[in-house]
Amino acid sequence: MSVYDFTVRAQDGTEVALSDCKGKVLLIVNTATACGFTPQYKELQEIYDACHEKGLEILDFPCNQFGEQAPGSDEEIHTFCTGRFGITFPQFSKIDVRGENADPLYKYLTENTKFEGFNGPAALIMNGVAKKMDKDFKNNGQIKWNFTKFLIDREGNIVKRFEPTASMETVKEAVEALL
């Protein structure tokens, strides 16, 4: 099984087969428009600008599960992201990324990766936030917060998981290594 076996919902409600992305490197991200990590949209767009021509696709899945930080309709979220950050990468319909209503793609991603911990200056804060939501957060693959990223190779295999506190330079270097 790979990410190519999944279908997701575009903003307009149409089904999109991820098999359409075969042969591309993917960075799959759950996002929010009112989060402390929201400025990562700018860095994601910079990575997309630098690497899209080489075969990168960033797949953006807004999610309102963490502090209700993705309010609004799919259209409102998209308008915010294009207006404020100029994003041009595909943005999909808002989904759940954890719990019983989690999108099947995210169930697959989290069941096949491990949480490797938060790092950087925000690690202490994020550990506290994650522990309030899930006392066993360090021992499961569930999404802990907005802007968790999954790097997928050209064959549809999960290569790496990046927590929201990961350096975007580290993310970019990993993307470039696959291209």
Instruction: Please list the active-site residues.
Output: 35
Coil, helix or strand for 11?
coil
168-178 vs 40-51: helix axis angle to the nearest 10? Answer: 20
123 contacts 117 by C-beta, under 8 angstroms: yes
Radius of gyration of the chain (CA): 15
> In the sheet where 149-152 sits, what is the strand order?
56-62, 25-31, 149-152, 158-162
Count of CB atoms situated within 10 Å of the CB of 67: 14
> Among 40, 41, 142, 37, which Cα is nearest to 87's?
41
